[in-house]
Amino acid sequence: MNSPSYLLLLSALCVLCALAFDRWWGEPPARWHPVVWMGRWLGMFSPWLRSLPAGAPAFAAGALAWCAGAALVLTLAWLAQDVLHQLWRLDDPLRAVGVVLGLGLGGLLLKPLLAWRMLRNEVRAVDQALDHSLEEARAQLSRLVSRDTRHLDATAVREAAIETLAENLNDSVVAPLFWFAVAGLPGAALYRFANTADAMWGYRGEWEWAGKWAARADDLLSWLPARLTAWLLGLAAGQRHAWRGLPGLGAQACRTPSPNGGWPMGAMALLLGCRLGKPGVYLLNEGGRPVGGAEHLLALLWAGRVVALLALLAAAVAVLAFAVTMSAELGWAAALTSWGSSPRATGVWSVPVVP
């Protein structure tokens, strides 16, 4: 079994395994986490890049450091994927063992590139902290966002948590799976590297030039997944909410500095009927009501439904690929011959003899 449908079947099952591992176990230890390794690679270059003069030298150095890291990530991911394919192509009597080992390994390799459980738990913890004190909620939120949380009121804390949930639903779930579907493990790994580089270098100020390449690379790779995330949120919210909110999505999405972040955040604001924003930077759904606890929990529910929809899509792809693979394995010709010689196909039906 070396057909494309066979590899598609096992790749779809790897997605299901990765989502299951994320649900059961969450994040691996930092010493074994590929995204942590990516951050350390980028961190090695940060002092040098910040010391360079603004302009072309800083831009070229930042681009070179990014490309070197991306090449390393792609090479390692390609080697890992090749190991998976070798396991999946073992002949009998080792085929079943190779498939099981390959699925387990594939799920373990893909899982660290996803972070739904951690995202959900951190955003939920903000809501739970607000039940105790505003100070505790601000401290919890500071783990998720880069903005200053010290002077935010309860509504602003919820707004920031929901914005983070919407944007990171794309960055931590939808986009990695999208690029896995397009280019396998190398695609998902490259996206996570680009997203991590943007999170570390993609700022204005001292990173204006050195981080420009990283920021633009992330913008490019996130362009389509961010829009898919917005529409998946509409699907998860249901017809009543989607018809009310999504027609004005394009106008809201362009209000944020990011060409992509405004799509999932704008979708969430419109679907909830609430306003979301960062003071002095952007305001989404300006005429919406303030965010409350009910909207906070509803946003978590819809984001969870998006993950469930992705799992259902992977399962549907697996079923379809399995059907095509088995048809090819059994032989189309034999199947057609068998059908062609059947009484239904020939029009000849046996007539019972009545004594």
Radius of gyration of the chain (CA): 25
- Measure the CA–CA gap between 69 and 345, rounded to whole angstroms: 60
In the block, tokens 């890291």 appear at: 69
Angle between helices 116-130 and 134-141 (to 10 degrees): 160
Long-range contact set of residues 314-317: C-beta below 8 Å, sequence gap at least 24:
314/12, 314/13, 314/15, 314/16, 314/19, 315/12, 315/16, 317/8, 317/12
Q: What is the pLDDT of residue 350?
A: 46
Q: What share of the chain is helix, strand, coil (3-state, %, to 5)?
A: 75, 0, 20
Task: Name beta bridge partners: 284.
Answer: 276
Q: What is the pLDDT of residue 93?
A: 86
Q: What is the pLDDT of residue 92?
A: 83
Q: Minimal CA–CA distance to 191: which of 219, 210, 163, 213?
A: 219
Q: What is the pLDDT of residue 354?
A: 46
Measured from the Cβ of residue 104, the count of other Cβ atoms closer than 10 Å reads 14
Main-chain dihedrals φ then ψ at residue 283, nearest 5 degrees: -140, 125
- Measure the CA–CA gap between 164 and 189, rounded to whole angstroms: 22
Q: What is the DSSP letter of 274?
A: B
Q: Minimal CA–CA distance to 221: which of 191, 266, 247, 254?
A: 191
Residue 317 Ramachandran class (φ > 0 left, ψ -120 to 50 alpha, else beta): alpha
Q: What is the pLDDT of residue 197?
A: 97
Q: What is the DSSP letter of 354?
A: P
Q: Render each residue's pLDDT in the chain as its tens digit; 355 residues.
A: 678 899 999 999 999 999 999 999 999 999 999 999 999 999 999 999 999 998 999 999 999 999 999 999 999 999 999 999 999 998 888 889 999 999 999 999 999 999 999 999 999 999 999 999 999 999 999 999 988 899 999 999 999 999 999 999 999 999 999 999 999 999 999 999 999 999 999 988 889 999 999 999 999 999 999 999 999 999 999 877 666 667 889 999 999 999 999 999 999 999 999 999 998 899 999 999 999 999 999 999 999 999 999 999 999 999 999 999 888 777 654 555 555 555 555 444 444 444 4
Tokens of 259: 């060409």
| Helix extents (H) in 260-292 | 262-272
Q: What is the pLDDT of residue 244?
A: 67
Q: What is the DSSP letter of 150?
A: T
- Measure the CA–CA gap between 216 and 200, rounded to whole angstroms: 13
Measured from the Cβ of residue 136, the count of other Cβ atoms closer than 10 Å reads 15
Domains of the chain, residue spans:
4-330
Q: What is the pLDDT of residue 337?
A: 58
Is residue 21 within 8 Å of residue 108, measured between CB atoms?
Answer: yes
Q: Is the dihedral of CA 332, 335, 338, 341 positive or negative?
A: negative
Q: Minimal CA–CA distance to 14: which of 97, 123, 102, 144?
A: 102
Tokens of 180: 């896995």
Supply the DSSP string of 13-78, one letter for each residue.
HHHHHHHHHHHHH-SPPGGG-HHHHHHHHHHHHHHHHHHSPTTHHHHHHHHHHHHHHHHHHHHHHH
This prediction has a pTM of 0.91
Q: What is the pLDDT of residue 129?
A: 96
